[in-house]
Structure formats: structure tokens, C-alpha cells
Amino acid sequence: MYEVRTMGGKGLGLVATCNIPKGARIISETAIFEMPRNSINPTTVHKWILKCLEKLDDEKRKAFYDLHNAHGGEVETALGIARTNALPLGSNATEGGLFLGASRINHSCCHNAQNTWNANLNQLTIHAFKDIKEGEEICISYLDGSEDYQTRQRDLQARFCFSCTCDLCSLSPSKRQRSDKRLNEITRLDEIIGDGMSIVTTPIACLYHARRVLELLKEEQIEDARIPRLYYDAFQIAIANGDEARAKVFTERAYATRVILEGEDSPEAVD
């Protein structure tokens, strides 16, 4: 389904070796080790990583040290590699996992795949949420939310020490300005929808905002986890206001889009 190839200035990356349909599971992978994500004591974390590496066979240990280190010179090598490549084990997770296969997936702000921690499988899954053509690079997003261009570049440089040149970041100034306006509006409306008080006091307005966010996401060609989350928000608004008919529609849409992103065995889909 994919192979690792050299991707020019981006180093190695994953490329589709066949047409991958929307909703297909590309990777299901167990971490070679888990680690704290936000520890204030890097020395302790580094020692933990070294102990984990000692338990690996030579092939996996070498594969780990072959991964990119965005923090060279700042911290110990093993810690730098782990910080660069670890992926969260769930939403707002305090633990991260090191996945040798998924670590080869590069970032794009207009990505075509979603990484998700599946607690039922105890594995990380990568799903295509768009049709991916043979020869096309498989990319995920290293960022959360709907950041505008300058915010994305700042965060990627601070966390991963690179500047993004994906299709979205390479738009002309006029197109970029329009894109940034849409992304900032998504963020603004999302904050209003997420306000528990607004759901009760202004439910119709919140549903309107949710519909508008869906329109903006479509214009930005965004089809990732923000879609089912938005449908779930709409479901909660409908339930809170006794509109069971709409709630049923929203929960069905949330489920359908969640399955595309995570599979039917996802805890979120099952729930």
C-alpha cells in the first residue's frame, strides 16, 4: 500500500504504491515504547527512553536512531529523536508513543491522512480521509486546530524546526489572505460553539455557527477529525434543547465520518 521514499528536502516519507480509497486503514502500529509528553524533567525522561531502548533488538534500536532529530544540540540525541517523533496516545494525552512506521509520515497543512490512538487495539492507526492516488505522498498534520499561515509557520518552527512549503503554505499572497480569513473564522466560531452556556442560551445561533464552520471547512478542503467533532457538538446542542430528531441525524453523521477517520473498531465510533 505504501513505501518509504526520499522526498527531496523533506528527507524520507511515505508514498502510496496503489490508489488508496477514502476511509482505508493505511497503518495499524504498536509503539516500540511509550513516554511522558510534557515532563518538566528532561533528564528523567531521557533515562526512561534509554532503558526502553535497551529492551529493543538491534534492528529496532538502529531504526530509532535513524529517525529525524529536530532538536540536535539542544538535548541528548535519544530525547531529541523521541520528542520529534512521538505521537499522542489520545486527545489531550499526557503520554506519547514512538512508532517506527508512522514516524516516517511527513507533515502537510493540507494533509490527506489522520493519525488516531485506538485504545481498543492499543495501537496507532493511520486512515486516509481522502482518496490518495498511487505515487502521492501520505501526510498527516503535526498541528491541532485551524491556525492561519503565520501561526502554523511559527509553531512548526518552534516545535519541529522547519518551515512548511505544502500547497496551502505556498498559496499566492491574495489566496493565502482569503484562506487565513476562513481559518480564523473557523477558530472564532468553534470557540463560541464550545461554550457550554451558548448551547443552552442561543441554541439556534450555535447550530447556525456549526453549519457555517462546516461550509468553511469544505472551502478549505478539510476533512479530518474536526468534522465528526463538529457533528457531535451539533448533537449535544440538539439534545440539550430536546430536539431528538436533529440529534439523531447529527449522531449518524458523526459516526459515519468517525468511521472514515478511525475505523469501526475505534472507541469513539463504538461509543
CATH architecture of 2-160: Beta Complex (2.170)
Confirm if 26 and 38 have CB atoms less than 8 A apart: no
Indicate the angle between helix axes 226-240 and 244-262, nearest 10 degrees: 160
The residue extents of the domains of the chain are: 2-160, 173-262
Question: Distance between CA 186 and CA 147 in Å, rounded?
Answer: 9
- pLDDT for 100 equals 98
What is the torsion angle, in degrees rounded to the nearest 10, for the CA atoms of residue 269, residue 247, residue 147 and residue 144?
-20
* Residues in the chain where the model's pLDDT stays below 70: 271
Angle at 159 between CA 153 and CA 162, to 5 degrees: 50
- pLDDT for 33 equals 97
Residue-wise DSSP of 1-38: -EEEEE-GGG-EEEEESS-B-TT-EEEEE--SEEEESS
Residues 6 or more apart in contact with residue 223 via CB below 8 angstroms: 129, 130, 217
Per-residue model confidence as pLDDT tens digits over 128-150: 999 999 999 999 999 988 899 99
Question: Distance between CA 187 and CA 227 in Å, rounded?
Answer: 13
Cell of 28: 495499524
Question: Distance between CA 47 and CA 184 in Å, rounded?
Answer: 41
Per-residue model confidence as pLDDT tens digits over 150-198: 999 999 999 999 999 999 999 999 999 999 999 999 999 999 998 878 8
DSSP state of 46: H
Residues 6 or more apart in contact with residue 24 via CB below 8 angstroms: 1, 127, 128
Can you tell me whether residue 57 is helix, strand or coil? coil
- pLDDT for 271 equals 62
